[in-house]
Amino acid sequence: TRETAGGVSYLELRLQLLLSYCTHLSFYLLLKAEGMAVKGHPVIEKLVETRVFMDKLRPLDIKLKYQMDKLLKTSADGPDAATAAGDALKFKPNLNALQLPDFAGDGDERGKSAAGRAHEEEEEEEVDKSGLYRPPKIT
């Protein structure tokens, strides 16, 4: 695994949290199966604490999902993909594929990609050569 400076890696943390949650949950179920009272038991506090930590990691899960899926796909493809794994540019999203759906159906700015809007703004700046500063339009 990759060493981290002064901490643990994201996947190790995620694994430890899931393992801790499963361990505490199974102990809780054992207490319930034996008919023991669980109200005020420390295992409840540990379950809640672990769940809060996992919920705090959820936004990071969402941000890293694309890269993890891409790495898993690359590793599953075989040895040819191993050489491509060194190229970090292959793991970025395709900006041209990012388009907002045109819900209104009127074909206005909402349906254009970010790259398309940037290109149109550059063309508008080239047309306006009057010497006056024109701030960019914010949509």
Q: Helix H segments across 1-139?
A: 10-33, 42-77, 79-85, 114-127
Mean pLDDT of all residues in 65-91: 70
What integer pLDDT is reported at residue 44 of this predicted model?
Answer: 93
| Residue 53 burial (C-beta neighbours within 10 Å; 0-12, 13-18, 19+) | middle
Q: What's the CA gap between 111 and 98, in Å, rounded?
A: 10
pTM > 0.85: no
pLDDT band at 3 (very low <50, low <70, confident <90, very high): low
In this structure, what token pair is assigned to residue 110?
A: 């909402």
Band the pLDDT of 10: cuts 50, 70, 90. Answer: confident
| Encoded tokens for 17 | 């949290």
Largest CA distance in the chain: 84
pLDDT at residue number 1: 47
pLDDT digits (tens, 9 = 90+) for 11-66: 899 999 999 999 999 999 999 999 998 899 999 999 999 999 999 999 888 888 88
